[in-house]
Amino acid sequence: MNVLIFNSNNLILYNKMQEFDVTVIGSGPGGYTAAIRASQLGFKTAIIERDRLGGVCLNWGCIPTKALLKSAELQNKVGHLKEYGISVDNANFDFPGIIKRSRGVADTSEKGVRFLMKKNKITVIEGTAKFNKDKTINVTAKDGKTETVKSKHTIIATGARARTLGDLKFDEEKIWSSTGAMIAKELPKKMTIVGSGAIGCEFAYFYNAFGTEITIIEMMPTILPVEDKEISDVVAREFKKSGVKIYTETKTESIQVKGDKVITKISGKTSEEIESDVVLVAIGIKANIENLGLEDIGVKVFKDRINTDSNYKTNVEGIYAIGDVSCTNETIKPALAHVASAEAVNCVEKIKGHHSPDIEYSNVPGNTYCQPQVGSVGLTEAKAKEAGYELKVGKFPFSANGKSRAAGETVGMVKLIFDAKYGELLGAHIVGNEATELITELVAVKSLEGTGESIIRTIHPHPSLSESVLEAAGVAYGEAINI
């Protein structure tokens, strides 16, 4: 705590500050990972958090949403149990109970991070951080009390929040961000989702599973627009089978609350007004750079992100930034929790003076956890062609995989894209059951500059879903056995 020394006129003579080697602002996956690695490397470390340890990911994002999606997956399974020779009478769901379980998972995760801070002897300072001109940090607690921190190295890991549509405000009752979608008190009958990235598609799947009528509005030609088109098309087809309405190449002109309904006006292939009970806006993120005092210390910003070099250094000595709040050399990186965690370790090790190779962002996997799941890494087929590669492409459907048939999960495929000249894996795309787990093998192959031959010569267990990876490589090189 600060120690304030006053003279007889009640003027502060000096303020004794807490001093650290490394201070991290923000405790999401990037922040708490940075703090732990710093402590492991012998730095006296502090972490500053204004809300809950674990940040958005553990409390309002990655983890609690997966708890919701597991409930949706089970709900869908109940409707198909007869196919497995199982009968269940009077099966029902408890929507508030589903939300409660998700929040319980988040609470447990937050406690886990708090334990890790204690275990690693990291000082946790609760409050809102703001830089002073001398690069010290004022931390204001919720009760208004302020303390000051001095640090040799400060890592900004404040993450991002949901981006709004124009001047629209989230009220989390009728106009939802992902936060509102996670804590709904009751199940809406009709829901419009603006944006069909991972967040939009995951919540579309979740609410559709429990009977909400879903309409998705997407400006791009396909949903999940960053994915390979063949992969996105599989998700769109399965969504439509479940009754989800999808408008692509469509612009959202306005969203207005009228009474107990929300009216979304759209234009594009069709111009109309869509009435629903709630609207979820899932059009991306905005970095949390406001009110940090960045302008007072002269930190440069590029397109609402803190600009750094490949060592995560800003233009101000001793100040670093990682994760969603940052960009590298004016290049926007994937806004993913695992990117932030990897950058955290890389940043701290470089501060320590270790030789840590720069992260290869083209080897970062992306996952979407709706059903069917999507996992991908590297170039799509279209992007590979644009880059001038001559390609070998192998596709293998899960319907031809024995383990998939046994599990009754035959939707989707593995698609692999190789450089025809050297055989190197350029991109891997999976849609279907456990795609988010299967992609890791291909991330490793790509990171090691592996080839189709190396996949084909790797013995895969039988029966397994991973055999579809082997077979897709075989298709590309004319060596497939089971198709």
Q: Mean pLDDT over residues 163-173, rounded?
A: 93
* Whole-number Å distance between alpha carbons of 467 and 109: 34
pLDDT tens figures, 227-258: 999 999 999 999 999 999 999 999 999 999 99
Alpha carbon 101 to chain centroid distance? 21
Nearest to 273 by CA among 261, 285, 288, 263: 263
Chain-centre distance of CA 150, in angstroms?
32
Say which residue, 224 or 166, is predicted with more confidence. Answer: 224
Whole-angstrom distance, CA of residue 196 vs CA of residue 204: 9
Using CA atoms, how far apart are residues 336 and 313, in angstroms rounded to an integer? 20
Average pLDDT value for residue range 68-91? 92
Q: Any catalytic annotation for residue 462?
A: yes
Question: Considering the domain 372-476 in this protein, what is its CATH number?
Answer: 3.30.390.30
Tell me the mean pLDDT in the region 291-297. 97
Asked if residues 347 and 312 have their Cβ atoms less than 8 Å apart, the reply is yes
Rounded to 5 degrees, φ, ψ at 45 are: -125, 145
The CATH homologous superfamily for domain 3-162+287-361 is FAD/NAD(P)-binding domain (3.50.50.60)
Whether 184 and 177 have beta carbons less than 8 Å apart is answered as no
Q: Which residue has the tokens 């703090």?
A: 35
Q: CATH: 3.50.50.60, 3.40.50.300, 3.30.450.40, 3.30.70.1430. Which one for 175-283?
A: 3.50.50.60
**Residue 469: partners with Cβ closer than 8 Å, 6 or more residues away:** 396, 414, 416, 438, 441, 442, 455, 460
The pLDDT value given to residue 10: 39
Q: Which residue has the tokens 């999960």?
A: 409
- Token pair listed for 65: 């949403």
Question: Which pLDDT belongs to residue 90?
Answer: 85
Q: Which residues contact 203 (CB under 8 A, 6 or more apart)?
A: 65, 178, 181, 193, 280, 282
Work out the number of other CB atoms within 10 angstroms of the CB of residue 104. Answer: 12
Nearest to 119 by CA among 47, 39, 27: 39
Per-residue pLDDT tens over the stretch 341-377: 999 999 999 999 999 999 999 999 999 999 999 999 9
pLDDT per position as a tens digit, 177-199: 999 999 999 999 999 999 999 99
The CATH 3.50.50.60 domain(s) of the chain lie at: 3-162+287-361, 175-283
Residue 483 has pLDDT above 50, yes or no: yes
CA contacts within 13 A on the Cβ side of 80? 9
Coil vs helix vs strand at 47: strand
CB 244 within 8 A of CB 216: yes
80, 153, 355, 462: the active-site residue: 462
Q: Is residue 382 pLDDT above 90, yes or no?
A: yes
Element (H, E) at 224: none
CA-based diameter of the chain, in Å? 89
Rounded-to-integer distance, Cα 386 and Cα 417, Å: 13
Mean pLDDT of the chain, nearest integer: 95
Q: Is the pLDDT of residue 285 over 90?
A: yes
Nearest partner of 287 among 129, 158, 128, judged by Cα = 158
Instruction: Return the sign of the alpha-carbon dihedral for residues 195, 199, 201, 205.
Output: negative
333: helix, strand or coil: coil
Over residues 7-47, the pLDDT tens digits come to 444 333 345 689 999 999 999 999 999 999 999 999 999 99
The answer to whether the Cα torsion of 357, 362, 368, 372 is positive or negative is: negative
